[in-house]
Amino acid sequence: MRDFDWFPLLLSLRVALISTAVVAVAGVAIGWLLARKRFPGREVIDALITLPLILPPTVLGYYLLVLLGRNSPIGHFVESLTGSPLVFTWRGAVVAAAVGALPLMVKTARASVASVEREYEDAARTLGKTEWQVFARVTLPLASRGLLAGVILSFARALGDFGATLMVAGNIPGRTQTAAVAIYDATQSGRDTRAALLVVILSAVAFTLLYLTNRLTSGRRDG
């Protein structure tokens, strides 16, 4: 254990935390839009956001490489802003994990917001509340259980991302090698104990998170 390399786990944790924070904010906003606003192309947006859930991770990774690469407008912009490219850095891993987790967050957020009875929101409006106050003081608290479950799911998903991360961030030990990638690396190079240890840790974390999610979503709604 003394010479166990903790870097991949810590990197995974950092990537998952940052991408979850981004996904939580964006996912709640998009989920609210999809649940509460009628606009043309609503279902197209939903489908596009859901796509990463069913696409092969390599396809997703390919799209991201094209979209974020050093020669792409976005990649160029980010590089000029931060001084380092997005691809093959840990930031690229954050983007890959976020895109993979976003559909889970948006789906749960849309369902949670839709389950809030509109009458409560209408009541708040008649009591003089602005749309932002209605969202922050009525919709958000009433949807909070579902939203929290979505956040946990997103975190679990971000923690375990493999394919897209490998394509976008690569497999640079000590720089971009996340836990999921490190497991692959370890089995390929015959370091079975290391692989097994990482597998056990990741499984335990995933199980705990799923268990928490279930407790949240099956409990009382208005407690």
Partner 1 sequence: MLSVNVTKNFVGGFRIEASFDAPPGVTILFGASGSGKTTTLRMIAGLTRPDAGRISIDGRALFDSDGRIDVPIRERRAGYVFQNAALLPHLTARANVEFALRRASRATKRERALALLEKFGVAHAAERRPRAISGGEAQRVALARALASGPQLLLLDEPLSALDEATKLGIIEDLRRANRELQLPVLYVTHSQEEAYALGERAVVYERGRVVATGTPEEVFRSPVRAGVARLAGVENIFDATVEERRAETGTSVVVMKDALTGATCRVEVPLSRHGAGASVRVAVRSGDILLATERPRGISARNVLEAKIVSVEDRGGRVLVRARGGVEWVASLTRQSVAELGLESGRAVWLAFKTHSCSVLED
User: Residue 62 contacts by C-beta under 8 Å, 6 or more apart in sequence?
Assistant: 167
120 vs 207 by CB, closer to partner 1:
120
Contact call for residue 128 and partner 1 (CB under 8 A): yes
Residue 129's SS3 state is coil
Return the range that interacts with partner 1 (CB under 8 A); candidates 3-11, 42-50, 61-69, 129-137.
Answer: 129-137
Kindly determine how many residues on this chain lie close enough to bind partner 1 according to the rule CB under 8 A: 17
Torsion of CA 31, 35, 38, 39, to 10 degrees: 20
Using CB under 8 A as the binding rule, whether residue 130 contacts partner 1 is answered as: yes
What residues contact 20, with CB distance under 8 A and at least 6 apart? 101, 151, 154, 155, 158
Ranges within 133-192 binding partner 1 (CB under 8 A)? 137-138, 141-142
Q: Whole-number minimum distance, CB 217 to partner 1, in Å?
A: 17
Give the amino acid at 140: L
Stretch that binds partner 1, among 48-56, 68-76, 130-138, 156-164 (CB under 8 A): 130-138
**What are the tokens at 144?**
């909070």
Q: Segment contacting partner 1 (CB under 8 A): 6-14, 128-136, 183-191, 193-201? A: 128-136
Give kind and range of the element (H or E) at residue 159: helix 140-159
Residues for the chain: how many in total? 223
Which residue stretch of 74-82, 93-101, 117-125, 189-197 sits at the interface with partner 1 (rule: CB under 8 A)? 117-125
Could you list the residues that contact partner 1 (CB under 8 A)? 117, 119-120, 122-130, 137-138, 141-142, 222
